[in-house]
Structure 1
Amino acid sequence: MTSAPAVLRPRLRRFLATCRDGWNTVGVQTEFYGRTLASTGTAIARYRAQILILIAQMGLGVGALAVVGGTVVILGFLTLTTGALVAVQGYNSFAQVGVEALTGFASAYFNVRLIAPLTAGVGLAATIGAGATAQLGAMRINEEIDALEVMGIRPIAYLASSRLIAGLVVVVPLYCVAVIMSFVAARAGTTLGYGQSTGVYDHYFQTFLNPSDLIWSFLLAVSMALVIMLVHCYYGFNATGGPAGVGEAVGRAVRASLVSSIAVVLCVSLAVYGQSGNFNLAG
Structure 2
Amino acid sequence: MSVGLASKQFPRLRRRFAGWSDSLDRIGVQSQFYFRTVGSIGAAVIGYRAETVRLIAQMSMGTGALAVIGGTTVIVGFLTVSTGALVAVQGYNQFADIGVEALTGFASAFFNVRLIAPLTAAVALASTIGAGATAQLGAMRINEEIDALEVMGIRSVAYLASSRVIAGVIVVIPLYCVAVVMSFVSARFGTTAVYGQSTGVYDHYFTTFLNPTDVVWSFLQAVSMAVVIMLVHTYYGYTASGGPAGVGEAVGRAVRTSLISAAFVVVFLSLAIYGQSGNFHLAS
TM over 0.5: yes
**Where do 1:113-132 residues align within 5 Å?**
113-132=114-133
Alignment of 1:262 onto 2:266: no
- Give 1:86 deviation, angstroms: 0.1
What runs of 5+ residues in structure 2 fail to find an aligned partner? 1-5
Alignment of 1:178 onto 2:171: no
The secondary structure found in structure 1 opposite 2:283 is coil
Q: Deviations over 1:26-48 (max 9, x none)?
A: 00000000000000000000100
The secondary structure found in structure 1 opposite 2:153 is coil
**Where do 1:21-36 residues align within 5 Å?**
21-36=22-37
Residue 25 of structure 2 aligns with an amino acid whose one-letter code is: N
How many angstroms apart in 2 are the aligned matches of 1:232 and 1:89? Answer: 34
Q: Deviations over 1:115-137 (max 9, x none)?
A: 00000000000000000000000
The secondary structure found in structure 1 opposite 2:10 is helix
Residues 1:7 and 1:154: Cα distance change in structure 2 (over 3 Å): closer
Q: After the TM superposition, list the runs of 4 or more consecutive aligned residues in structure 1 that deviate by more than 6 angstroms.
A: 5-8
**Where do 1:1-283 residues align within 5 Å?**
9-283=10-284
Q: Normalization by structure 2: what TM-score?
A: 0.97
- Give 1:13 deviation, angstroms: 0.5
Alpha-carbon contact 2:88-2:108 (below 8 Å) kept = yes
Q: Normalization by structure 1: what TM-score?
A: 0.97
How many angstroms apart in 2 are the aligned matches of 1:157 and 1:14? Answer: 37
- Give 1:64 deviation, angstroms: 1.6
What runs of 5+ residues in structure 1 fail to find an aligned partner? none
- Give 1:278 deviation, angstroms: 0.6
Alpha-carbon contact 2:172-2:222 (below 8 Å) kept = yes
Alpha-carbon contact 2:7-2:13 (below 8 Å) kept = no
Alpha-carbon contact 2:109-2:206 (below 8 Å) kept = yes
- Give 1:66 deviation, angstroms: 1.0
Count residues in correspondence.
279
Q: Deviations over 1:44-83 (max 9, x none)?
A: 0010000000000000011121111100000000000000
Alpha-carbon contact 2:118-2:222 (below 8 Å) kept = yes
How many angstroms apart in 1 are the aligned matches of 2:204 and 2:241? Answer: 56
How many angstroms apart in 1 are the aligned matches of 2:66 and 2:29? Answer: 33
- Give 1:151 deviation, angstroms: 0.3
Q: In the alignment, which residue of structure 1 is the partner of 2:3?
A: none
How many angstroms apart in 2 are the aligned matches of 1:7 and 1:205? Answer: 68
How many angstroms apart in 2 are the aligned matches of 1:196 and 1:110? Answer: 19
How many angstroms apart in 1 are the aligned matches of 2:102 and 2:210? Answer: 15
How many angstroms apart in 1 are the aligned matches of 2:244 and 2:68? Answer: 26
How many angstroms apart in 1 are the aligned matches of 2:38 and 2:7? Answer: 47
Residue 244 of structure 1 aligns with an amino acid whose one-letter code is: A
- Give 1:7 deviation, angstroms: 9.6
How many angstroms apart in 2 are the aligned matches of 1:253 and 1:210? Answer: 34
